[in-house]
Amino acid sequence: MSKIRDFFIGLPAACGAPNAKAWGQVNALQYDHEIANPLSVFADDGRPVAERLETAFGWAGRDPEKAGIEDYARRLAHLLALSDAVDRKGRKELAGERNVLAGSLSILEPRYPTVSALMTVSEASVAPLSGWA
């Protein structure tokens, strides 16, 4: 379907979450009914991106040993949303934040190959990728 949808569905497994398949299905429902819907709570309504994405990470935070990869995945999703806001929605005031985040994530990317197999920092740094409200 869409690279963004596949990213959200695959994140629980890529991060080693327990019950990853079920969490992936939850993220599929959330993507199909919320993230891809321009009228949803995920739509760009001026709230911080991290706040809008929080519910897509209900599976995270259960294992302290996975905190690094989970934080990386969450920040990569944030970068994806920032890129969409800057490139597709014209929110140029967010360009600096996007560039700083992309720079810090690119240094970490080699540590998390299971996540970068779903979405690289380069891919998340540019929009438009279809399928984001």
For residue range 57-83, list pLDDT tens digits in order: 888 888 888 999 999 999 999 998 888
107 in a domain, yes or no?
yes
Asked if residues 79 and 90 have their Cβ atoms less than 8 Å apart, the reply is no
108 in a domain, yes or no?
yes
Local confidence band at 86 (pLDDT 50, 70, 90 cut-offs): confident
Of the chain, the percentage scoring pLDDT greater than 90 comes to: 50
pTM over 0.85: yes
Report CA-CA distances (Å) from 20 to 12, 40, 53: 5, 25, 18
129 in a domain, yes or no?
no
State the total domains in the chain. 1
Local confidence band at 129 (pLDDT 50, 70, 90 cut-offs): low
53 in a domain, yes or no?
yes
Which residues span the domain enclosing 105? 3-124
132 in a domain, yes or no?
no
> Average pLDDT of 81-87?
85
70 in a domain, yes or no?
yes
133 in a domain, yes or no?
no
Angle at 8 between CA 7 and CA 13, to 5 degrees: 85
